[in-house]
């Protein structure tokens, strides 16, 4: 009979620091080394700073609203496919797996993963593109920057400060995401890289799955792509005589398991090979969490296919047109009639400008709230 050691009791304000000292790698972001928060707060008696950040995100209004925001396909198209919230949870799940395997800070990873898409407006990228056009003269709109605006200013849960007063490292990860196109991403924490890698695996896999379920794609089209072909070969080595549905499910599992395993193996080789032993060394190492060359090439081919066949599908484009029209009309309508805005956004207009404040209000809406408001206020279809 094996005898287990009595569970260690982690009491007191240094709970998370002690756990991390035992469990995390030297290249992980330890809570003890956090640069802190903009507004000083005393340490919590039993939660570490990043666990506290994660809890603040989960309790925010912007996070809850993700359940009624489009990932790629709108609510009218069915109930099977991912919403922005379930996408976020899949990213958090994979990112935690990666983080645990690499002995990184899972609390920080989870906080960043749960917040990574919190700035998305209604109607997915169609909504984002429209708000970017509406705000073209006022700095434009980008969901990654909006996420920062939400957690730094727009959430109003606490008396002592605006926003959620998150730890510097969570904000830094989101800022890297927001500035990626202008050379950001270099010098990022491994925890930030893990979230980005998990995001990519998640949407590549689930967008294909959702498109299959909706009948926008045929399984054989995907199985002709190298990534799916290889995953299917691996599955068929283990199981014989799978039905088409069984094959699809097994390939989806294999795709995730294989890609996550590949990310871990590549990172472990790099970390060991370059003897990366501190956060500073990890920051100087460039992108460590990345797929191997073969997987990267095959993923790129899948992404090109999804772009052409799914994101540009007639049904998706039709939703785009509707969403763009209603958001444009609402933007113009609220700018014309700021008295229709909730008091909070009328007040913000005084400091941030009316256009930005209308953009914030529209970006915070769920798909269904935006549709209802559009009907109620701007079409004359129903009185309200
Ligand atoms: Mg995402």
From first to last of its 384 residues, the chain has per-residue pLDDT tens of: 566 766 555 555 567 788 899 999 999 999 999 999 999 999 898 899 999 999 999 999 999 999 988 887 777 777 788 889 999 999 999 999 999 999 999 999 999 999 999 999 999 889 999 999 999 999 999 999 999 999 999 998 888 999 999 999 999 999 998 987 544 456 899 999 999 999 999 999 998 998 898 889 999 999 999 999 999 999 999 998 899 999 999 999 999 999 999 999 999 999 999 999 999 999 999 999 999 999 999 999 999 999 998 888 888 888 888 889 999 999 999 999 999 999 999 999 999 999 999 999 999 999 999 999 999 998 865 444
CB distance 37 to 168 below 8 Å:
yes
Q: Are 381 and 375 in contact (CB under 8 A)?
A: yes
Distance 93 CA to ligand 1 centre (A): 13
- Phi and psi for 26 in degrees, rounded to 5? -65, -25
CA atoms within 13 A of residue 209's CA, in its CB half-sphere: 22
The reported pTM is 0.93
How much is the pLDDT for 384?
42
Per-residue pLDDT, 383 = 45
Dihedral sign from CA coordinates of 278, 281, 287, 290 = negative
Contact (Cβ atoms closer than 8 angstroms) between residue 112 and residue 173: yes
Question: 244 C-alpha to center of ligand 1: Å?
Answer: 29
Residue 13's pLDDT is 54
- Distance from Cα 12 to the centre of ligand 1, integer Å: 36
Q: Ligand 1 centroid to 113 CA: how many Å?
A: 8
CA of 267 to the centre of ligand 1 (A): 21
Distance 158 CA to ligand 1 centre (A): 27
**What distance in angstroms lies between residue 273's CA and the mean position of ligand 1's atoms?**
30
- Measuring CA to CA, how many Å separate 114 from each of 86, 95, 222, 223? 10, 10, 29, 31
Question: Rounded to the nearest whole angstrom, what is the distance from the C-alpha of residue 87 to the centroid of ligand 1?
Answer: 7
Q: Using alpha carbons, list the distances in angstroms from residue 61 to 64, 65, 102, 197, 375.
A: 5, 6, 32, 26, 23
Q: What share of the chain is helix, strand, coil (3-state, %, to 5)?
A: 65, 0, 30
**118: closest CA among 68, 175, 165, 57?**
57
pLDDT score recorded for residue 235: 94
The CA 199 to ligand 1 mean position distance, Å, reads 5
Question: How close is the Cα of 313 to the center of ligand 1, in Å?
Answer: 20
Nearest-angstrom CA–CA distance, 371 and 292? 43
Contact 367, 69 (CB under 8 A): yes
Q: How far is the C-alpha of 316 from the C-alpha of 42, rounded, in Å?
A: 48
What is the radius of gyration, based on Cα positions, of the chain?
22
Q: What's the CA-to-centroid distance between 88 and ligand 1, angstroms?
A: 6
**302 touches 204 (CB < 8 A):** yes
Count other Cβ atoms within 10 Å, centred on residue 192.
Answer: 25
> What confidence score (pLDDT) does residue 96 get?
98
- Distance from residue 363's CA to the centre of ligand 1 (Å): 16
How many whole angstroms from 128 Cα to the centroid of ligand 1? 13
24 phi/psi in degrees, rounded to 5: -90, 150
Q: What pLDDT is recorded for position 70?
A: 80
Distance in angstroms (rounded) separating the CA atoms of residues 269 and 266: 5
Residues 6+ apart with CB under 8 A from 184: 175, 176, 177, 178
Phi and psi torsions of 146, nearest 5°: -65, -35
Q: Torsions phi, psi of 183, nearest 5?
A: 95, 0
> In Å, what is the CA distance from 20 to each residue of 15, 17, 55, 139, 325?
9, 5, 18, 41, 50
Instruction: Please report the pLDDT score of residue 183 as a whole number.
Output: 43
Phi and psi of 123, rounded to 5°?
65, 30
Determine if residue 60 is left, alpha or beta; phi over 0 gives left, psi from -120 to 50 gives alpha, anything else beta: beta
Q: What is the DSSP string of 225-256?
A: SHHHHHHHHHHHHH-SS--HHHHHHHHHHHHH
Angle between helices 106-115 and 190-213 in degrees, nearest 10 = 50
Residue 167's DSSP bridge partners are 37
Question: Diameter of the chain by CA atoms?
Answer: 76
State the CB neighbour count (10 A cutoff) for residue 140. 13
Which has the closest alpha carbon to 123: 309, 330, 303? 330
- Quote the tokens at residue 186: 């270099």
Residue 326 makes CB contacts below 8 A (sequence gap 6+) with 370, 371, 374, 378
């Amino acid at each position: 009979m094996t005898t287990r050691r009595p569970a260690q009791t982690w009491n007191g304000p240094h709970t998370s620091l002690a756990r991390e000292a035992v469990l995390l790698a030297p290249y992980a972001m330890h809570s003890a080394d956090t640069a802190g928060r903009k507004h000083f707060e005393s340490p919590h008696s039993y939660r570490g700073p990043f666990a506290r950040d994660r809890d603040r995100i989960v309790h925010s209004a912007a996070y809850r609203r993700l359940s009624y925001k489009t990932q790629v396909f709108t609510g009218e198209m069915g109930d099977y496919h991912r919403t922005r919230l379930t996408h976020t949870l899949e990213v958090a799940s994979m990112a935690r797996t990666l983080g645990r395997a690499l002995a990184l800070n899972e609390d920080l990873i989870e906080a960043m993963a749960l917040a990574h898409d919190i700035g998305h407006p209604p109607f997915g990228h169609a909504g984002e593109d429209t708000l970017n056009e509406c705000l073209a003269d006022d700095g434009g709109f980008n969901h990654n920057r909006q996420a920062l605006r939400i957690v730094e200013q727009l959430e109003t849960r606490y008396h002592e400060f605006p926003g959620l007063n998150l730890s510097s490292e969570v904000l830094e990860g989101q800022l890297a995401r927001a500035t990626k196109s202008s050379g950001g991403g270099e010098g990022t924490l491994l925890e930030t890289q893990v979230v980005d890698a998990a995001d990519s695996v998640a949407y590549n896999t689930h967008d294909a799955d959702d498109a299959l379920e909706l009948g926008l794609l045929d399984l054989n089209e995907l199985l002709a792509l190298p990534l799916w072909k290889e995953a299917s070969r691996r599955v068929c080595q283990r199981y014989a005589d799978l039905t088409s549905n069984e094959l699809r499910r097994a390939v989806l599992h294999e795709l995730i398991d294989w890609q996550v395993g590949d990310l871990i193996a590549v990172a472990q080789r790099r970390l060991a090979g370059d003897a990366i032993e501190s956060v500073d060394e990890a920051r100087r190492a460039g992108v460590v969490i990345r797929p191997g060359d073969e997987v990267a090439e095959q993923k790129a081919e899948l992404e090109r296919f999804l772009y052409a066949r799914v994101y540009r599908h007639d049904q998706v484009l039709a939703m785009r047109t509707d969403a763009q029209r209603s958001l444009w009309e609402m933007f113009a309508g609220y700018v014309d009639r700021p008295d229709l805005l909730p008091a909070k956004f009328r007040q913000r207009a005084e400091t941030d400008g009316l256009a930005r404040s209308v953009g914030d209000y529209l970006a915070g809406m769920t798909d269904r709230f935006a549709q209802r408001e559009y009907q109620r206020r701007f079409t004359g279809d129903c009185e309200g």
